[in-house]
Structure 1
Amino acid sequence: MVELTKTGIDGLDEILNGGIVKNSTTLVSGNPGAGKSILGLQYIYNGVEQFDEKGVFLSFEENEQDLREAAESIGFENWGDHVEEGNIKIYDKKELLRENDFNSSLELLLGELDGDDYERLVLDSLTMFQLFFDSEREKRTYLLKFTDILSENNLTTLMTNEQGTVFPETDIGLENFLTDGNIFLLQTPTDSGVNRYAWVAKMRKKNIDTDIFPMEILEGNGITVHENASAFSMMNDNDSPL
């Protein structure tokens, strides 16, 4: 029996058939504004609020105050309390980029990850993470090393990655193949704003629903994924990444 970690996100656990595989690393990709960071915040927050699981949030893009304001703006009102109580541990860009050396940042993290205190981790984002490295080969080597360390420490991890295109069919990087699961957050412009979608493309060790499902981001609730994909007909055969 494969152990699962529930995200607690309405609709997402259903299309994941119960949740993310425990101790795995899942890549969450999307273009700017698609909701990647919100999904990461919600995953960590729900872990504490709903499942009594502590989490670590690594942000290479925001400082701790920015993260708190972002979390509270979408209704995660206890975020600050959980940080103060140690249920959520934040490493922001000031700490992670201070030495401009990944080994130094890794040593900083290992002391915190050594033990069973934390069960969830978010890295936001790989786009900034790669600034540590001079070559694609070096980045891949350290990414593999890092994901192994996370798994050995019994952490179920989400890593965000910026996607340059609306649909990922022409912009799939090697990171997608180095991780255990791939979730794409898609958005397409409309006359009144944008339509948002979630696509779980891969999850090792389990069956998933690989259809594309509409999603929305609501103040006070965060991300909700809707299982009624047929209600949204704007995707035609030429647009679909499938």
Structure 2
Amino acid sequence: MIELTKTGIDGLDEILNGGIVKDSTTLVSGNPGAGKSILGLQYIYNGVDMFDEKGIYLSFEENQEDLREAAESIGLDKWPEYVERGDILVYDKRELLGEHDFSSSLDMLLEDFKDSEYERLVLDSLAMFNLFFDDERERRTYLLKFSDILKENGLTTLMTNEQGAVFPKSEIGLENYLTDGNIYLLQTPTDSGVKRYVWVAKMRKQDIETDIFPMEISWGGITVHDNASEFSMMNHGDSPLE
């Protein structure tokens, strides 16, 4: 029987039919402002707050203070307390990018990865992670190595990635194939503002809902609604990742 890790995000676990496969790596893609970092913050916070599962947050884009303010701004009020207690372990851009090469950063992280107390991890984001590498071959080698290390150490991981196109048939990178799951956060402008959607395009070992569902970001974070949106895979073709 497949063991699942619940995100604790309203509506998302229902689409996933219970959660994310334990020890897997899921890519969360979207354009800037789509809610990728918020989803990551919620995933780590809910692990501690709802399920007594400790988490690690790797941020290549923000510092500790920015992450705390972002968490508190959406109602994740106990974030500072959980960090202080060690239930949430944060490595920010100053620590990660300060090592200058990924081998040094990886050595720094391995001790905590091997700590069985930590069960969840977020890497935010792959765009900044890629700055470590001079060429595509090196990037692929280390991404494969890093993904294997996460799984071997029992971490159920979300990685965020910038995605320009709404339906990314022409922008599918290596990351999409290395990961066990692909979640897209979509947003479209309207006369009354921005409409947001979530599309779970792929999850290995799971039966999932592959329609596109409306979501909103408000106090408490992301909520996914159960009525499939006007976007549908019937209109936009089959998933490009199958």
1:79-121 Cα offsets, whole Å, 9 max, x none, are 0000000000000000000021001100110011112110000
Counterparts of 1:58-137 in structure 2, within 5 Å, are: 58-137=58-137
Count of residues paired in the alignment: 239
Decide whether the 8 Å contact of 1:169 with 1:241 is kept in 2.
no
What corresponds to 1:225 in structure 2? Answer: 224
1:194-222 Cα offsets, whole Å, 9 max, x none, are 11010001111111111110000012x10
CA distance in 2, matches of 1:102, 1:48: 28
1:56 aligns with 2:75: no
Letter in 2 for 1:77: D
Report the aligned-residue RMSD.
1.5
What corresponds to 2:166 in structure 1? Answer: 166
- Secondary structure at 2:139 match in 1: helix
- Secondary structure at 1:106 match in 2: helix
User: 1:192, CA displacement in angstroms?
Assistant: 1.5
CA distance in 1, matches of 2:76, 2:203: 27
Decide whether the 8 Å contact of 2:26 with 2:179 is kept in 1.
yes
* Residue segments in structure 1 that go unaligned for 5+ positions in a row: none
1:212-233 Cα offsets, whole Å, 9 max, x none, are 10000012x100011111xx43
What corresponds to 1:26 in structure 2? Answer: 26
Decide whether the 8 Å contact of 2:211 with 2:232 is kept in 1.
no
Decide whether the 8 Å contact of 2:212 with 2:231 is kept in 1.
no
CA distance in 2, matches of 1:62, 1:75: 19
1:140 aligns with 2:137: no
1:29-72 Cα offsets, whole Å, 9 max, x none, are 00000000000000000000000000000000000000000000
TM-score, normalized by length of structure 2?
A: 0.95
User: 1:122, CA displacement in angstroms?
Assistant: 0.1
TM-score, normalized by length of structure 1?
A: 0.95
CA distance in 2, matches of 1:141, 1:215: 35
- Secondary structure at 2:122 match in 1: strand
CA distance in 2, matches of 1:170, 1:35: 22
Decide whether the 8 Å contact of 1:99 with 1:105 is kept in 2.
yes
Distance 1:173 1:133, change over 3 A: same
Letter in 1 for 2:8: G
Distance 1:168 1:241, change over 3 A: farther
Distance 1:131 1:237, change over 3 A: same
Distance 1:85 1:74, change over 3 A: same
Decide whether the 8 Å contact of 1:168 with 1:241 is kept in 2.
no
User: 1:170, CA displacement in angstroms?
Assistant: 2.5
CA distance in 2, matches of 1:240, 1:46: 34
What corresponds to 1:175 in structure 2? Answer: 175
